[in-house]
């Protein structure tokens, strides 16, 4: 900036001092102005490079001028002329850029003025450089980046974004929203502009428009542009998300199709298992041997426990997992009915956490519960012995699930060894725990029987995302 274009405001309460200082500044090639701080608006200070005032004016108007300097985009240097050197620190602390001690030496004043005006030139050049960089970034963006006033008139708009939006070489600056957008989209944006003006918070929304190649979808973000502590305009970024929207719809359709197929698979698997159960029941109806009938019933219960998993997955909102606690509770009800247990004789209680697991975990857990509960109901309470069966499901530290089955019945035989047991059910429990659940089995058989199965919570990733 040339020296003769700099404007300096002189605000001295003493007219003689004001005249002497003004004449000296003019002799250096600068312009002098005498703005009224009470009347001047922030924008009116934009042409002024530097303000020199005495302490009287500084005490009256300094706070407002510091506020203008700090909360506007103009570069304004504030200098105060003081009588005592000891007052300099207080003025600098209040936000002034420098304080000069009276009487002012002409050589010192000339040096100070040139220093601050050079700083202003450097600041303006830096601002211009930054603006050029930002403008280059904005103009190179394929997104539509724009500035709107409250009435929806475009104050600024990047050319590449305009061309992508309008498919034409014409500018939107000075035009209204309705020039670029269909009525529905324009009305939506008008509503959002008002919300941003009122709330001073950004807003993001989507809209669609009919184009020559079909429906286009856009995501728009509006944000307040604040100047002098009030919302001056609304900035906006509009991005064409048509390809993302189409891809999203395709993914949703594909997931819906897979969900239908998976539900059908669960439903048919459950029905097929029901057919097998019905065939076993029909076959066992002609058998008179109690031991063989018991074998058929145990097999039916095992198949029912697996069929129940598929039924719950078919009914679940999330096709990849089921509530293990709810499943165990329903399984207990099924087994109590199968063995015709009277609650007043053998009470079955459950303390079950809500834990969701995949089908790969649910089926072996169901088979294990089926074997352990069946053993309790068949052998723990001989005759008319009264007792209690308790089932627990908890999540332990380290993402470990624990299942507990406990009764207060006759317990296990002395020196019982599960590895040598001839019971198919207990061997099944051991093998399912070790090989299917990758877990550990522990038990006690004194004064009743207690089995605890611990296994990691995440055996496999979910097969279908919720």
Structure tokens at 300: 């039916």
Residues 6+ apart with CB under 8 A from 232: 225, 226
Alpha-carbon distance of 435 to 345, in angstroms, equals: 36
Domain shared by 7 and 84, yes or no: yes
Domain shared by 174 and 53, yes or no: no
Q: Which phi and psi angles does 232 have, rounded to 5°?
A: -90, -35
Q: Which phi and psi angles does 13 have, rounded to 5°?
A: -75, -25
Residue 466 lies in a domain: no
Q: Write down which residue in 240, 268, 284 finishes a domain.
A: 240
Looking up tokens 């009287």 gives 56
Domain shared by 296 and 385, yes or no: yes
Residue 461 lies in a domain: no
Structure tokens at 44: 């009116």
Query: Do residues 387 and 378 make contact, with C-beta atoms less than 8 angstroms apart?
Result: no
Query: Do residues 191 and 182 make contact, with C-beta atoms less than 8 angstroms apart?
Result: no
Tell me the CATH number at 450: 3.30.565.10
Structure tokens at 381: 């309470």
Domain shared by 275 and 367, yes or no: yes
Domain shared by 180 and 327, yes or no: no
Domain shared by 147 and 131, yes or no: no
Query: Do residues 451 and 372 make contact, with C-beta atoms less than 8 angstroms apart?
Result: yes
Tell me the CATH number at 80: 3.40.50.2300
Alpha helices in 28-158 (DSSP H): 55-70, 88-93, 106-140
Residue 64 lies in a domain: yes
Residue 226 lies in a domain: yes
**Cross-strand partners of 128:** none
pLDDT computed for residue 173 by the predictor = 84
Alpha-carbon distance of 414 to 406, in angstroms, equals: 18
Closest CA to 377 of 415, 417, 332: 332
- Total domains present in the chain: 3
Q: Which phi and psi angles does 278 have, rounded to 5°?
A: -65, -40
Domain shared by 203 and 64, yes or no: no
Q: Write down which residue in 84, 114, 137 finishes a domain.
A: 137
Q: Write down which residue in 209, 240, 271 finishes a domain.
A: 240
Residue 146 lies in a domain: yes
Domain with 131 in it: 3-137
Q: Strands, E, within 128-248: which ranges?
A: 144-148, 154-157, 203-211, 214-227, 230-240
Q: What is the DSSP letter of 3?
A: G
Domain shared by 405 and 390, yes or no: yes
Residue 463 lies in a domain: no
Domain shared by 255 and 192, yes or no: no
Tell me the CATH number at 215: 3.30.450.20
Spans of the chain, pLDDT less than 70:
1-5, 40, 42-43, 71-77, 79, 104-106, 123, 127-129, 131, 164-169, 211-213, 228, 314, 316-317, 319, 459-466
Residue 465 lies in a domain: no
pLDDT computed for residue 465 by the predictor = 40
Domain shared by 64 and 97, yes or no: yes
Domain shared by 236 and 259, yes or no: no
Query: Do residues 374 and 426 make contact, with C-beta atoms less than 8 angstroms apart?
Result: no
Residue 199 lies in a domain: yes
pLDDT computed for residue 459 by the predictor = 57
59 to each of 19, 68, 112, 282, how far by Cα in Å?
21, 15, 22, 105
Domain shared by 74 and 35, yes or no: yes
């Amino acid at each position: 900036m040339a020296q003769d274009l700099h404007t300096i405001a002189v605000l001295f309460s003493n007219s003689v001092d004001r005249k002497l200082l003004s004449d000296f500044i003019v002799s250096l090639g600068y312009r002098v102005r005498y703005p009224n701080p009470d009347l001047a608006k922030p924008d009116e200070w934009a042409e002024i490079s530097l303000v020199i005032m005495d302490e009287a004016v500084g005490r009256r108007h300094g706070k407002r001028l510091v506020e203008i300097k700090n909360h506007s985009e103009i570069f304004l240097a504030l200098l105060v002329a003081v009588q005592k050197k000891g007052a300099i620190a207080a003025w600098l602390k209040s936000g002034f850029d420098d304080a000069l001690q009276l009487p002012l030496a002409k050589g010192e004043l000339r040096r100070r003025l040139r220093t601050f005006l050079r700083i202003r030139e450097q600041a303006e050049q830096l601002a211009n450089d930054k603006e050029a960089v930002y403008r280059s970034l904005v103009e190179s963006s394929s997104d539509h980046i724009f500035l709107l006033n409250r009435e929806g008139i475009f104050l600024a708009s990047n050319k590449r974004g305009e061309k992508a939006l309008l498919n034409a070489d014409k500018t939107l600056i000075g035009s209204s929203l309705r020039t670029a957008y269909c009525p529905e989209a324009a009305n939506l944006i008008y509503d959002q502009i008002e919300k941003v003006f009122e709330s001073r918070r950004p807003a993001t929304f989507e809209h669609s428009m009919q184009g020559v190649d079909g429906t286009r979808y856009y995501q728009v973000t509006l944000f307040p542009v604040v100047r002098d502590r009030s919302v001056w305009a609304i900035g906006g970024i509009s991005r064409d998300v048509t390809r993302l929207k189409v891809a999203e719809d395709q993914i949703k359709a594909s997931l819906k199709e897979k969900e239908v197929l998976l539900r059908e698979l669960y439903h048919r698997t459950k029905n097929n298992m029901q057919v097998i159960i019905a065939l076993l029941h029909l076959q066992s109806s002609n058998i008179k041997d109690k031991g063989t009938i018991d074998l058929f019933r145990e097999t039916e219960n095992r198949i029912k426990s697996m069929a129940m998993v598929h039924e719950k997955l078919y009914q679940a909102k999330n096709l990849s997992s089921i509530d293990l606690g709810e499943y165990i509770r329903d399984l207990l009800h099924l087994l109590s009915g199968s063995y015709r247990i009277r609650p007043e004789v053998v009470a079955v209680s459950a303390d079950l956490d809500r834990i969701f697991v995949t089908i790969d975990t649910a089926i072996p857990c169901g088979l294990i519960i089926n074997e352990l509960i069946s053993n309790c109901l068949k052998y723990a309470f001989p005759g008319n012995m009264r007792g209690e069966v308790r089932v627990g499901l908890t999540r332990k530290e380290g993402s470990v699930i624990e299942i507990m089955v406990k009764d207060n019945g006759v317990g296990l035989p002395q020196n019982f060894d599960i590895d040598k047991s001839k019971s198919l059910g207990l061997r099944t429990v051991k093998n399912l725990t070790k090989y299917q659940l990758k877990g550990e089995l522990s038990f006690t058989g004194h004064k009743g029987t207690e089995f605890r199965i611990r296994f990691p919570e995440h055996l496999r990733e979910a097969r279908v995302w919720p």
